[in-house]
Amino acid sequence: MSTRSDRIVIVGAGQAGVEAAAALRMAGSGVPITVLGDESAAPYSRPPLSKGILTGAAQFPEIALRTDQFYVREGIDLRVGRAVADIDAAGRTVHLDDGDTIPYESLIIATGSKARMLPNPELRGAANVLTLRTIDDTLRLQEFLRPGARAAIIGGGYIGLEIAAAARRAGVETTILEAADRVLARVTSAPVSDFFQQIHREEGVDVRTGARIAGFRTDAHGNVAAVLLDGAPALEVDFVLVGIGVTPRTELAERAGALVDNGIVVDAHLRTSVPGVYAIGDVSRHPCPQHGGLRRLESAPNVSEQARHVARSILGDEAPYAALPWFWSDQYDLKLQSVGLSATADTVVVRPNPGHDRKLEVFYLEAGKLIAADIVGASGDFAFSRKLVESKTVLDPEALADPDVPLRSFLALAGAA
């Protein structure tokens, strides 16, 4: 065990942790780096789990974040299947569950999040009630994706819709049960929700919004045989997928004394309230440069941006984190790409696409400035939209809604032509 006090320890071997280690090496840092992951699998990218991996279009080696040779070549001490039991912030040491200890000068917490589960006691021990967060979850879910199987997907967010698309592709009879009055209600506008509800219904998904779950009926083996609904007949199922969001894994940070509030609270340099400790990715809650206050983003691009930024912060760069949020979701043959945060918009513009019923462009303005956009089926327009959102370009809603006005023509207003 090394006793070098300049060691950087990264807790979490997902995308955030591995990219932070890589960024430190790319920036020229030669200090010892240890990356600790509690999963036994080599570090991998999570977004494909509900997309290509689940459908079988991709295999596990294709989603590896780095090759084994990378860690050796870069002198990164990667330890998988090693859980951290505690952090001694005063002594700048992490304690592993096997009794080993590792000293650090800087510590990056990149523990990510875990899937939420419903509290119903009848779900405990049910082998056919699933969530999706890890590669093991995906492999388990694949076993249930067979033609004619009956699935209830609880939750109509991105993960629920992506899994519904994969299930339909496998011939599964799929029902989405969403408590809100529309899918994606927490993350986007009604036009986008309506679009995806229509797409999924066209693909054969039974989309039920405003659904109220009264309980579950189990069989003699303790598995769920039916979902009981208020005001509707019981829904007979072969399996249930719970997709109701995630909870940040803040336990280690809390025990170390870090400030936690719906995530580990960090400053503009991604530093926690504990000296020498940083937090990045899904688990961190950072200042929002666009709208003020704090925000926690569950987004692969945000993970990558924060990984690069924390490396710079540790090496002395005092620039604040100010990356523009963006997201994507793959469903069937469609790609949704979103940029910016639309919650404060006072004007929503839907740009018509005559003759393209599987294409959608929705723009969000605040005081005339473009602050966000949702684009489906038009990657070129997404690139233009991103530039316009980055520059907070003031746009005329009528011109923006005119499909005869090329979106790229607005770039002149942003000084980006």
Do the bridges between strand 106-109 and strand 113-115 make them parallel or antiparallel, or are there none, so unpaired? unpaired
Give one DSSP letter per residue of 187-216, joined into a string: TS-HHHHHHHHHHHHHTT-EEEES--EEEE
* pLDDT (tens digit per residue) in 28-62: 999 999 999 999 999 999 999 999 999 988 898 89
pLDDT of residue 1: 39
Average pLDDT, the chain: 94
Closest listed residue to residue 235, CA positions, set 191, 174, 148: 174
Q: Is the pLDDT of residue 4 over 50?
A: no
The whole domain housing 98 covers 8-113+246-314
Is position 2 within any domain? no
Q: Is the pLDDT of residue 170 over 60?
A: yes
Is position 328 within any domain? no
* pLDDT (tens digit per residue) in 61-77: 899 999 999 999 999 99
Query: Any idea which residue has 């002395």 for tokens?
Result: 316
pLDDT band at 292 (very low <50, low <70, confident <90, very high): confident
> Within this chain, do residues 103 and 160 fall inside the same structural domain, yes or no?
no
Is position 202 within any domain? yes
> Within this chain, do residues 165 and 231 fall inside the same structural domain, yes or no?
yes
pLDDT of residue 88: 96
Q: Is the pLDDT of residue 245 over 90?
A: yes
CATH number of residue 347's parent domain: 3.30.390.30
**Average pLDDT for 390-414:** 91
> Within this chain, do residues 100 and 153 fall inside the same structural domain, yes or no?
no
> Within this chain, do residues 299 and 361 fall inside the same structural domain, yes or no?
no
Q: In whole angstroms, what is the distance from residue 281 CA to residue 216 CA?
A: 35
> Total structural domains in the chain?
3
* pLDDT (tens digit per residue) in 88-120: 999 999 999 999 999 999 999 999 999 999 999
pLDDT of residue 415: 65
> Within this chain, do residues 124 and 146 fall inside the same structural domain, yes or no?
yes
> Within this chain, do residues 109 and 26 fall inside the same structural domain, yes or no?
yes
Domain end marker among 201, 221, 242: 242
DSSP lists the bridge partners of residue 132 as: none
Is position 319 within any domain? no
Q: In whole angstroms, what is the distance from residue 377 CA to residue 336 CA?
A: 7
Alpha-helical runs (H) found in 93-157: 135-142
CATH number of residue 220's parent domain: 3.50.50.60
> Within this chain, do residues 253 and 185 fall inside the same structural domain, yes or no?
no
Q: Is the pLDDT of residue 142 over 70?
A: yes
CB-CB contact of 243 with 132 (8 Å):
yes
Strand order through the sheet with 76-80: 76-80, 33-37, 8-11, 106-109, 277-279
Percent helix, strand and coil across the chain, each to the nearest 5: 25, 30, 45
Residues 6 or more apart in contact with residue 153 via CB below 8 angstroms: 160, 163, 164, 167, 174, 175, 176, 177, 240, 241, 243
Q: Is the pLDDT of residue 339 over 90?
A: yes
* pLDDT (tens digit per residue) in 253-281: 999 999 999 999 999 999 999 999 999 99
CB-CB contact of 147 with 172 (8 Å):
yes
> Within this chain, do residues 227 and 179 fall inside the same structural domain, yes or no?
yes
pLDDT of residue 188: 94
* pLDDT (tens digit per residue) in 348-400: 999 988 777 889 999 999 999 999 999 999 888 999 999 999 999 999 999 99
